[in-house]
Each structure stands twice: as C-alpha cells, then as structure tokens.
Amino acid sequence: MVKQLSNWGNYPILDCDESSFTQEEQLTQYVNTHDHIIARGNGRCYGDASLGEHSISTLRYDKVLQFDTENGIFECQAGITLDQVLAITVPRGWFLPVTPGTKFITIGGAVASDVHGKNHHAEGSFSNHVITMDVLTGVGFMSCSPENNPDLFWATCGGMGLTGIITKVQFRLKKIETAYIRQKQIKAENLDEIIRLFDEYKDYTYSMAWIDCLKKGKNFGRSILIVGEHATKEELSDKQKAAPLLLPDKLKLTIPFNLPSFVLNNFTVKAFNMLYYAKNYKKEMNGVVPYEPFFYPLDAIHHWNRGYGKQGFVQYQFVLPIDRKEGLAAIMHRISDKGWGSFLAVLKVFGKQDDLISFPMEGYTLALDFPVRKGLFPFLDELDALVLEYGGKLYLSKDARMQQEVFWKSYPNAERFANIINTYNPVGKFRSVQSDRLLITKP
Amino acid sequence: MMIPTVLILGAGSDMAVAIARKFAANNYAIQLAARKPELLHAQEQDLRIRHNVAVTSHGFDALDFESHVSFFQSLPVKPDVVICVFGYLGDQEKGQNDWQEASRILHTNYTGAVSILNVVAEDMAARKTGTIIGISSVAGDRGRMSNYLYGSAKAGFTAYLSGLRNRLFHAGVHVMSVQPGFVNTRMTEGLTLPPLLTAQPEEVANDIFKAASKKKNVVYSKWFWRYIMLIITSIPEFIFKKLKL
Ligand SMILES: Cc1cc2nc3c(=O)[nH]c(=O)nc-3n(C[C@H](O)[C@H](O)[C@H](O)COP(=O)(O)OP(=O)(O)OC[C@H]3O[C@@H](n4cnc5c(N)ncnc54)[C@H](O)[C@@H]3O)c2cc1C
C-alpha cells in the first residue's frame, strides 16, 4: 500500500508502496512481479537509502536459524533487530562483533551499510565478521562469502541494498564474561588534546568522543573521550557479580549518564536531562556500567529524532584520511562560524579498511546533525567541497542530499561497484531514491 | 513442575508468531500447527533458540474437518492450552457474488474453528483441565457493509466461545475469547488503518498471555476497543444502516 515513509531524519518524506514477507516464496514472487524495489530494515538510516517506489520491509523476516553457543556463530534471517540478537546472545556469553550507536537496526541493514562501531580501529566493520550470506539478486538467490562469489559479497557489504535483498546472514559473535563495560571518560579542552587522547588510548577496544562543534577560541573542539572494555567478572561489584550476564531491570531509570552538557543543549527531550548529571564532572571518570548506556545512550529515549521538528534533519558524517587532520579543523571551523551544527557530534578514529564500497577508511570521522532549513543544502555543498579537497567521503547511510559528482569523485571504487551491480541487478530492479539521485542506478 | 504445552492452531500468521514467542518466553513447550508444516521450520528453530523450549510442528487444515479428530489424536502430548489463531479475512466484495470466496470465509472463521474446538473441548472436559483461547474479532460485534461475511463468521465464533465457556466452566476448563481490533499484520497490509487504534501483534500477544493467566473471559485488544464497540453496538439500527461503515 502506498504511504508516506521517511527514515530516521524525517527527511525526505516520500510516497512509497511498502509490503512485507515472512516466507522466501512470498519474497520471490514479489520480486518477480515488481520493479523498482528496495529493501527496508528498520528505517534507521537517516535519509532516502531505503525509500523507493516499492520498499520491501524485512521486519517480519526475523527468525533465528542457528546459534552455535560453543563457537559463537549466529545465523538468522535479515530482518531481526540487534536488540533481539543481544537478548538471545548476551545471557549466553556472546556479544555482537560490531554495533552502531543504536540497537534498533536490522542485521540486513548492518550488512547493507557495513556498519562500524566504537571498535572499528581494533576490530573493523560488521562485514569483517560475516561468514556467509544469502542474497536474492536480480538473477536469483545466491550465497556469497569472502571466498564464494566474493564480488557479490563485497558489493553487498556497504552496497545499500543495490545487489538485491539480503535474506540470511551467518556471522561470528564475540565472547564476553559479563554484560558490563569498564568505561573511562576523559575531558579534553580542545581539538588537539582530543586527537592526542585518541592516540594515547588507542589500545582500548572501544572509543569515541562527544565533541562540541560550536565552541570557538581556545575551547575549539572541546570534547570528552569515552573508552571501554568488556568487563571481566572480577571487575564487577558484588551486586553485579550475582548475575554477570544479566542486566538489571528498570535499566532506563538507572542509566549513569555522564554526557557533558553541550551534548544536550537545545535538546528538547527533558527525560534525557533528568537521567544525566553534569554536576560532579571531573577530568577523568571511571566506572563499570551495563552495556546498554555505553553503546546506546540515545536509545533510552525513543524518537529523539522528532525533537528536530517537522522539517526533519540530516546527519552529516564524513571521514578524512588519517594524515589530513588539518581538514578536520578546517571543516569544524566552517561549522562553528556558521553556528548551525548540532548539539550531538561524534568523533571517532577508524582503523585501516580498504574495500570495495564501505564507508570506513583509516582516518577521522565526524558525525553531526543539521536541522533542515533554508540555505542548509548549499552550505552542505560547501562542506562537501572541503571533504573532497581533503580526500574524504560521506557515509551513504546518513546521506539524503549529496550531489552525484561528490559520490563518484570520493568513492575510489564507484565504477567497479556500479559494474558489479550491473551483473547482479542487470535491469535495475533494485534501486532507491538515493541510488537514482547518485546515478548508481539510472533514474 | 511439569512443563505446560500450548497448541497454536494457525501458527504461521504474524499474530501466531508473537503469541508463540510470548508463551515460549514463559517456558511453555510449543506445538505449532498450520496447513504447510514444512514452512514452520524457521519458526521452530527461532523459538528453540530464543527461549530454549521444546517445539514440534504439525500439519493442520482448518477446512479439512474430517481430519480434525485424527490430527488432535496424533499430537505427541495433549496440550494444556489451545489457541485458535487461524482466520481468513477474504474479500467481502468478491464474496458477495462468489460462493467459493464466501464459503471459504465462513468455513475458515466459523465452521473450521468449531470443528477443531469441539474435539479439543471433549478432551479437556474429560480430563477436567485446560484452557481454550479463541481469537475472534471486534468485526463480529456488529455487521458492517465492508466486511459482514468475515464479521458474521466471527460473530458466530464469539457466540460459540461464550456457550463453550458456560459449558466447560462446570468441568473446570477455562475458555477465553479475544476480540482484537485492528492489528498490524501482513493480513491487514493493504488496508489503511488508523495508527492510534492499531495494535502490534506483540501487544495482542501480551494481552492474551496476561488475561489468560488471570482467567479473564473476554479481552479486547487494545482495551479501548471494548468501549468503541460499546458505542458502535448502541447506535440504533435505523441510523446505523445509513452509515457507510
Ligand atoms: C541513533 C543512530 C545511531 C547510529 N549510529 C551508527 C554508527 O555508530 N555506525 C554506523 O555505521 N551506523 C550508525 N547508524 C546508521 C545505521 O546503523 C544504518 O543506517 C543501518 O543501515 C540502519 O539499518 P536498518 O535496519 O534500519 O535499515 P534501513 O535504514 O531501513 O536501510 C539502510 C540501508 O540498508 C539496506 N537494507 C536494509 N535491509 C536490507 C536487506 N535485508 N537486504 C539488502 N539491503 C538492505 C537498505 O536498502 C538501505 O540502503 C546510526 C543510526 C541511528 C538512528
């Protein structure tokens, strides 16, 4: 049925025909009888990547098929969400190998965006942990892995649904002793200090920083580095030790938020503020916290995205090569001069990754929100020019507005990617509003 | 303590998936029954892995009345709870002049349900224990031009359940009727449903589980449908017939 759909940024809102399936045959039949199809997981990409004439929802295709608890191998249908996976695996001592900042995405979405987490520098992106998967391509069902049909595999990881519909994924989990994280938070006065801290703490598995993109002068780039490790049993408090793999009930009320106040300024959601204590804020803070607030601080507030109002917002996330950190300062200066950046900006350092079309590459990545308003898109075009100048690129999963030249110039393998798409999706059956906009598929 | 078993008739639907997960999460062994049991494999695995419970699948066709006795006898364990989830919305307009469609609607939602629950009822009455849960619909509370074939079959089913409740009470067997309003499932995918009035299958499953544990007789899901239907059923017929509902 045709309805108005939008993803997390509430921009754009488009008329799409959305249907779902619970059995493989229903999906095959649908694909055989429709054109202009794009898979849609939980709509947590920000822009138009999972919107199209026919968006096919995978959410009802959510069955767990295998869980080898000895070796930590998990196999499931692509529509299961990460929070469901965690509910099954954590109590048995296994964790997702990579997780983004929200647990409300599907496994299919994790592969199609090849998501990264706070451990990218240490453990790579999601696709690095995929063993094998099944894809309904434009030429039928196919299995693929790094060894078997590798071109399909690498064009599907980060390929934004353009090779077809991912139906099943088998991936490796990570062993944990407890459901807790030993976390350390360190305040940085400015950009130079935070970059130095990232380097100093690079041995931590997890790291990211909340950064203030609006502050000028000597506090330009003030931020807070958050690093963590899965806690061992010995590191837990006596209370936590009683059930090391189970989270306390009523977690939402006990979140020990330690985000600095600039993270939340002009944030409309009061609940968040209530949970948060900016008081007692010290240079360095240590603690052992449940994994949820560590990985998913924003999930505690459903629909915080609505705080931006009817016009919606776009998230702007770029990555710059590791040796071009002057670009980071240049772009942040532009943003702070304009005064339009968000309260919510995340800075992270990626480790090495050099594959077909996924976003991560060794360097600095910054993500921030911009409410949609007059003049925003021309301004972002200016930022794009800087990103290009410094050899960087934008994250397709957050994009809703980049011009096609920017994509073709910044993704070094764009041409090869498009050719592989031509093999597996020869008549452009699978296409999104985004892929048409970027001319990866022909509108 | 013995592990209780729940039999889910019409196990492939979205509502049934949610109900099975809810009972499995509460440590029930699960019997799934549907027309094509070979399609239940993934769901079986899913329940086992998520909830660490025993699951079996069985072929069951609501329209094959003759088979119902042998189907029930062939179950490896007699269930403690039986939930009748299957249903067929069908196409009202088509059914108005296509008896094939009309009879499929009537027989799936009414005759088929009665046929299998008669068998279940005899067994539970003899054992003097058990719970029968029938998923009916608010569409059975008053006939409307847009779906009175489905509605009338559900009305019959609702009346059947209340009679059965009355009879089996004396045998110590509990019968619960569930009246869901709009539910967001594949069955309703083509319809425009008002978001505020529409429940997710998981909500209905929670309501069912909670109400069954409290031995409720009739539950509406979402709860305010009881009041919506109270208003709808109290509109005088001479006005109601003029509405286009
Ligand atoms: C609060 C928040 C924090 C986030 N943090 C991070 C982060 O830290 N790191 C990160 O990498 N991302 C992050 N994201 C982005 C998010 O992880 C990705 O956009 C993810 O792809 C969304 O998955 P989804 O299931 O919602 O899919 P959708 O948003 O519906 O779709 C995303 C893309 O995946 C494709 N797709 C989905 N399912 C399938 C399938 N079965 N087969 C083929 N293609 C499919 C779609 O076509 C589309 O191109 C964040 C998003 C939010 C809202």
Chain A CA closest to residue B192 = A1
d(CA A2, CA B183): 18
CA distance A188 to A184: 13
- ipTM summary value: 0.93
Which chain A residue lies closest to B46 (C-alpha atoms)? A64
Going by C-beta distance under 8 Å and a sequence separation of 6 or more, which residues neighbour residue B110?
Answer: B153, B154, B156, B157, B160
B201 against A297, higher pLDDT = B201
Cβ-based neighbour number of residue A389 at 10 Å: 13
- Band the pLDDT of B59: cuts 50, 70, 90: very high
Task: Say if residue A278's pLDDT is above 80.
Answer: no
**CB within 8 Å: A64 and B49:** yes
Residue A204 confidence (pLDDT): 98
Q: Do B45 and A66 touch (CB under 8 A)?
A: yes
- What are the angstrom distances between the C-alpha of B200 and each of A21, A165, B189, B203, B216? 16, 25, 12, 5, 21
> What mean pLDDT is predicted for residues A97-111?
97
pLDDT at B41 over 80: yes
Q: Is the peptide bond before B76 cis (omega within 30 degrees of 0)?
A: no
Task: Determine whether B220 is an active site residue.
Answer: no
Residue A66 near residue A73, CB atoms below 8 Å: yes
- Give the mean pLDDT of B26-32: 98
The answer to whether A1 touches A123, Cβ cutoff 8 Å, is no
Confidence band, pLDDT 50/70/90 cuts, at residue A279: very low
* Helix B148-169 × helix B112-127 angle, to 10°: 10
Q: Give residue A223's pLDDT.
A: 87
Q: What percent of chain B has pLDDT over 70?
A: 100
CA distance A61 to chain B (A): 10
Alpha helix stretches (DSSP H) within B86-236: 92-97, 99-106, 112-127, 148-169, 201-213, 225-234
Strands A14-20 and A206-211: unpaired
**Mean pLDDT, chain B, whole residue set:** 96
> Which residue in chain A has the smallest CA separation from B12?
A22
pLDDT at A303 over 50: yes
The H or E element that residue A388 is part of is helix A376-389
The answer to whether the CB atoms of B50 and A64 lie below 8 A apart is yes
Lowest mean pLDDT, pick from A21-30, A264-273, A416-425, B60-69 = A264-273
CA distances from A121 to A163, A255, A349, B23 (A): 28, 27, 7, 42
What's the gap between Cα A390 and its chain centre?
A: 23
The partner residue sitting opposite B45, judged by closest CB among A1, A65, A84, is A65
B110, B113, B115, B118 alpha-carbon torsion, rounded to 10°: -120
- Give, rounded to a whole angstrom, the gap between the first and last alpha carbons of chain A: 22
Q: What are phi and psi of A263, to 5 degrees?
A: -65, -30
Token output for A405: 């030249």
CA-nearest residue for atom 36, ligand 1, is: A109
Q: In whole angstroms, what is the distance from residue A321 CA to residue A323 CA?
A: 6
Closest CA to A338 of A376, A305, A304: A376
Average pLDDT, chain A: 91
Compute, in angstroms, the gap from residue B143 CA to the centroid of ligand 1. Answer: 44
pLDDT of residue A255: 45
Tell which residue, A61, A89, A173, has the closest CA to residue A126: A173
**Is residue A38 a contact partner of residue A161, using CB atoms and an 8 Å limit?**
yes
**Chain-chain contact of B42 with A65 (C-beta, under 8 angstroms):** yes
In this structure, of A207-221, A382-396, B159-173, the range with the lowest mean pLDDT score is A207-221
% of chain A at pLDDT higher than 90: 78
Mean pLDDT of A117-121: 98
Q: Whose CA is nearest to atom 9 of ligand 1?
A: A100
- B12, A22: Cβ pair inside 8 Å? yes
Here the tokens at position A188 are 């940085």
> Chain A partners of B15 at a C-beta cutoff of 8 Å?
none
Helix (H, G, I), strand (E, B) or coil at B236: coil
Instruction: Quote the Cα angle for A225-A227-A231, to 5°.
Output: 155
The A-side interface with B (CB below 8 A) comprises: 1, 19-23, 60, 62-67, 77, 84, 87-88
Residue B244 has pLDDT above 50, yes or no: yes
Are B45 and A22 inside 8 Å of each other by CB? no
> What is residue A329's predicted lDDT score, i.e. its pLDDT?
95
Residue from B89, B233, B82 nearest B164 by CA: B82
Tell me how far apart the alpha carbons of residues A89 and B236 are, in angstroms, rounded to a whole number.
56
Q: pTM score, two decimals?
A: 0.94
Instruction: Give the start-end residues of each E strand in A253-411.
Output: 284-290, 313-321, 345-350, 363-371, 393-394
Instruction: Give the mean model confidence (pLDDT) for residues B218-232.
Output: 93
Q: How confident is the model at residue A339 (pLDDT cuts 50, 70, 90)?
A: confident
What are A401's two structure tokens? 């507005």
Cα–ligand 1 centroid distance for B115 (angstroms): 47
Residue B138 pLDDT > 60: yes
d(CA B51, CA A88): 8
Structure tokens at A321: 């090569």
Closest protein CA for atom 39 of ligand 1: A108
Helix runs in A201-313, H state only: 238-241, 251-254, 270-275, 291-295
Structure tokens at A194: 């935070």
| pLDDT for position A437 | 98
Cα A443–Cα A33–Cα B90 angle in degrees, nearest 5: 130
Residue A166 CA: nearest ligand 1 atom is 42
Which residues of chain B make contact with A60, given a CB cutoff of 8 A? 14, 186
d(CA B245, CA B38): 39
Gyration radius of chain B over CA positions: 18
Taking only the tens place, the pLDDT of each residue in B180-203 is 999 999 888 888 888 889 999 999
Determine contact, residues A338/A35, Cβ cutoff 8 Å: no
How large is the angle between the packed helices B148-169 and B99-106, nearest 10 degrees? 20
Judge whether residue A272 has pLDDT over 60. no
Q: What is the rounded CA–CA span in Å between residue B112 and residue B167?
A: 20
CB A79 within 8 A of CB A60: yes
Residue A256 has pLDDT above 50, yes or no: no
- A270 compared with A303, residue with greater pLDDT: A303
CA angle B105, B110, B115 (to 5 degrees): 125
Nearest CA to ligand 1 atom 14: A100
Tokens of A2: 């045709």
- Band (pLDDT 50/70/90 cuts) for residue A250 is low
Asked if pLDDT for residue A420 goes beyond 60, the answer is yes
Angle subtended at Cα A365 by Cα A364 and Cα A370, rounded to the nearest 5 degrees: 145
Instruction: Tell me the pLDDT band of A174, cut-offs 50, 70 and 90.
Output: very high
Structure tokens belonging to residue A288: 């052992």
Whose structure tokens read 């295998």? A66
- Calculate ∠ Cα A300-A292-A101, nearest 5°: 75
**Dist. CA A379–CA A52, nearest whole Å:** 26
Instruction: Please tell me which residue in B28, B110, B150, B160 is annotated as part of the active site.
Output: B150
Task: Write the residue with the smallest CA distance to atom 51 of ligand 1.
Answer: A44
Percentage of the residues of chain A whose pLDDT score is greater than 70 = 92
CB A164 within 8 A of CB A135: yes
**Residue-level pLDDT at B1:** 62
Under an 8 Å CB criterion, which residues of B touch A?
12, 14, 17, 39, 42-43, 45-46, 49-50, 186, 189-192
What would the DSSP string read from start to end of B103-137?
A: HHHHIIIIIHHHHHHHHHHHHHHHHT--EEEEE--
Q: What is the pLDDT of residue A263?
A: 56
Angle at A368 between CA A128 and CA A117, to 5 degrees: 20
Task: Collect all residues of chain A within an 8 Å Cβ-Cβ radius of residue B49.
Answer: 64, 66-67, 88
Confidence of residue A277 (pLDDT cuts 50, 70, 90): very low
pLDDT score of A273 more than 60: no
Residues B68-126 have pLDDT tens digits of 999 999 999 999 999 999 999 999 999 999 999 999 999 999 999 999 999 999 999 99
CB-based contact A60 B49, cutoff 8 Å: no
- The residues lining ligand 1, judged by C-beta closer than 6 Å to any ligand atom, are A 7-8, 38-45, 49-50, 58, 78, 100-102, 105-106, 108-109, 112-113, 115-117, 160-161, 165-166, 298, 397, 432
Best residue among A14, A40, A45 to mutate for probing ligand 1's pocket (most ligand atoms within 8 Å of CB) is: A45
